[in-house]
């Protein structure tokens, strides 16, 4: 009791002031540390440019404009046109093949095609439609994507296609079956055109490996396309694919969609089957890995998700009406200033503010701006949970073991030495991750666990069944090639929601002054995927959605010409 009474004495007041000074000093030290880290990164940038200068040709070259009108039609509308015989599947598939052949030498997104097989399948679709006697409605119900071309991330099993995940030791691996989500899309009538590039073993935010090379951003070829689903993001963003399949364990759908100006959705954890991918998740990772749709047009997200989720789609009530004027919206402009992460680009903060203004003006809602302190520990939470043992007590397969591709475990220090001599089959990003893993504990600290649980409770209570949170997709616009090596923790803006298991939709918001895509994440409570998906449809109309690369020179596509409306129903 004596300790309680002393709270009110002058001595305790002095102690309270000292604690305040200590907290201020800690915040000052964190800011100083952040500035020092950014200075070090800048010095690394300078050294990197001297040792490996960017190709001037990449900075000057542009993608040719989209000229075939079939390439600007959403997938669901393409399927309707094909069913109604307004266009043949062969014509649509050939249009996309022509576009891929036009742009892929520049962006290096599609790493293996199946064009001949796709044209044969398209011809079979046209024959099926000619012979169908049940009418268009029967075909729509049974085959909603009939005749529509699709691309697939190379880490997914697609029958007859490579499944190396950028690993040289797996270069001869060819899939004999389809991954379940791919099989469901094919069963719905979609026609795969081929597989797209990813980062080595899908654990880096740039799609670069020693088997297929580096994928480039269609908006600026000297920029990254993101990872690990960067090939999908690039091929779709360039207008050479309309829909695609991606996977996401730390933002691998949302970052490429953001960098390439398209839509992507990370579903609620456990809704879409993750089987048929390499590498397979282990430990607690199956809870965090999500498979989801990537597309150029928001209206394709819900139909794709319904197909990919199979029977579990019923858990999401995706056909239920959504009145956005009754949704509670929240805006968080940044993570609170972690010294490990880059500050959020002012253009992204401004774009998010414009979203808030449009929501308030059009929907007559009040968007509450918030600060969530636990987000500051996003990277630490993600890293700790990813390395934690599963329910069976088994720790995750080490990255060094995965790098071996079934062979002898890789020794990261030796690989680094080989890399310096140009002899390693692995990228420096993969080697770096294996090195970091050597010093990482499989048991998260109690403090980080407390932050994770606190954040989980706060967001679940905040969002409930009718809330949507706006949050930056990434702190930076699409970086130049290899620059993420110096800002490796920036993926935390997306990765934290994998750990929390929440559904997130990435939505494009036009282009920056440099001509690079802007965007925002839309986060909802578990199983409330329909809310961010409906919001994405609204924002597509409000801000113009996907913009053709180099759209500023090809003609105006400003959001000012987009319609305004008060609510939307799915």
Task: Report helix, strand or coil for 315.
Answer: helix
Do residues 370 and 331 touch, judged by C-beta distance below 8 A? yes
- Tokens representing residue 453 in the block: 């649980």
Burial of 328 (0-12, 13-18, 19+ CB in 10 A): middle
Catalytic residue among 81, 153, 376, 452: 153
**Helix (H/G/I), strand (E/B), else coil: 111:** strand
Query: How big is the CA angle at 230 (ends 228 and 233), to the nearest 5 degrees?
Result: 135
For the beta carbon of residue 559, count every other beta carbon within 10 angstroms. 16
CA 233 to CA 199: how far, in whole Å?
Answer: 13
Q: Give backbone dihedrals phi and psi of 143, rounded to 5 degrees, phi first.
A: -135, 70
Exposed, middle or buried, 376 (CB in 10 Å: 0-12/13-18/19+)? buried
CB-CB contact of 161 with 196 (8 Å):
no
**CA–CA distance, 317 with 308 (Å, rounded to integer):** 14
Phi, psi of 368 (to 5 degrees): -90, 120
Question: How many angstroms separate the CA atoms of 220 and 210, rounded?
Answer: 22
Instruction: Kindly name the residue from 229, 252, 269, 398 that is annotated as catalytic.
Output: 252
For 5, the enclosing helix (H) or strand (E) is: helix 2-5
Residue 82 CB neighbour total at 10 angstroms: 26
DSSP 264-285: EEEPSTTSS---SBSSPP-TTG
Instruction: Express the helix, strand and coil content of the chain in percent, nearest 5 each.
Output: 50, 10, 40
Euclidean distance between CA atoms 146 and 82, whole angstroms? 8
Closest CA to 242 of 112, 86, 80, 92: 92
Contact 236, 484 (CB under 8 A): no
153 carries an active-site annotation: yes
Which member of 228, 269, 387, 388 is catalytic? 228
Q: Which two tokens stand for residue 486?
A: 């110096």
Sign of torsion over alpha carbons 238, 241, 247, 248: positive
Active site residues: 153, 228, 252
């Amino acid at each position: 009791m004596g300790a309680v009474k002393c709270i009110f004495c002058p001595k305790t007041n002095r102690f309270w002031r000292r604690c305040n000074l200590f907290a201020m000093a800690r915040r000052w030290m964190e800011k100083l540390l952040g500035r020092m880290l950014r200075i070090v990164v800048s010095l690394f940038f300078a050294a990197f440019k001297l040792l490996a200068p960017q190709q001037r040709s990449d900075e000057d070259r542009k993608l040719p404009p989209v000229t075939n009108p079939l390439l600007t039609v959403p997938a669901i509308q393409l399927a309707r046109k094909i069913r109604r015989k307004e266009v043949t599947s062969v014509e649509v598939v050939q249009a996309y093949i022509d576009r891929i052949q036009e742009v892929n030498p520049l962006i290096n997104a599609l790493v293996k095609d199946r064009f001949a097989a796709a044209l044969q399948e398209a011809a079979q679709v046209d024959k099926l439609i000619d012979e169908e006697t049940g009418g268009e409605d029967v075909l729509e119900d049974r085959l909603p994507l009939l005749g529509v071309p699709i691309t697939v991330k190379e880490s997914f099993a697609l029958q007859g296609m490579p499944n190396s995940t950028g690993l040289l030791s797996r270069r001869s691996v060819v899939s004999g079956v389809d991954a379940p989500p791919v099989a469901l899309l094919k069963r719905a009538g979609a026609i795969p055109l081929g597989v797209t590039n990813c980062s080595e073993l899908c654990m880096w935010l740039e799609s670069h490996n020693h088997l297929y090379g580096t994928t480039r951003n269609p908006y600026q070829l000297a920029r990254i396309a993101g990872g690990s689903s960067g090939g999908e993001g690039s091929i779709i963003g360039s207008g050479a694919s309309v829909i695609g399949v991606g996977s996401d364990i730390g933002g691998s759908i949302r970052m490429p969609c953001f960098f390439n100006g398209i839509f992507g959705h990370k579903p609620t954890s456990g809704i879409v089957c993750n089987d048929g991918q390499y590498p397979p998740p282990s430990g607690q990772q199956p809870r965090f890995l999500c498979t989801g749709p990537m597309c150029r047009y928001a209206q394709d997200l819900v139909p794709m998700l319904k197909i990919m989720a199979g029977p579990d789609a019923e858990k999401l009530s995706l056909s239920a009406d959504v009145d956005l004027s009754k949704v509670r919206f929240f805006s968080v402009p940044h993570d609170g200033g972690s010294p490990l992460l880059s500050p959020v680009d002012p253009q992204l903060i401004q774009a998010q503010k414009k979203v808030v203004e449009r929501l308030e003006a059009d929907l007559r809602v009040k968007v509450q701006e918030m600060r969530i302190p636990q987000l500051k520990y996003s990277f630490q939470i993600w890293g700790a949970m990813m390395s934690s043992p599963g329910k069976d007590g088994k720790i995750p397969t080490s990255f060094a073991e995965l790098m071996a591709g079934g062979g002898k475990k890789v020794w990261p220090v030796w690989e680094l030495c080989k890399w310096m001599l140009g002899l390693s089959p692995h990228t420096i990003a993969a080697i770096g991750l294996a090195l970091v893993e050597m010093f990482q504990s499989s048991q998260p600290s109690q403090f980080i666990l407390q932050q994770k649980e606190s954040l989980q409770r706060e967001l679940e209570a905040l969002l409930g069944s009718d809330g949507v949170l706006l949050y930056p997709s990434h702190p930076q616009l699409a970086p130049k090639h290899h620059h993420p090596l110096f800002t490796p923790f920036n993926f935390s803006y997306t990765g934290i929601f994998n750990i929390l298991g929440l559904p997130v939709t990435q939505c494009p918001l036009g282009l920056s002054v440099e001509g690079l895509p802007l965007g925002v994440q839309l986060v909802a409570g578990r199983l409330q995927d329909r809310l961010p998906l409906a919001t994405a449809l609204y924002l597509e109309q409000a801000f113009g959605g996907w913009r053709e690369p180099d759209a500023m020179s090809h003609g105006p596509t400003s959001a000012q010409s987009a319609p305004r409306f008060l609510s939307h129903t799915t």
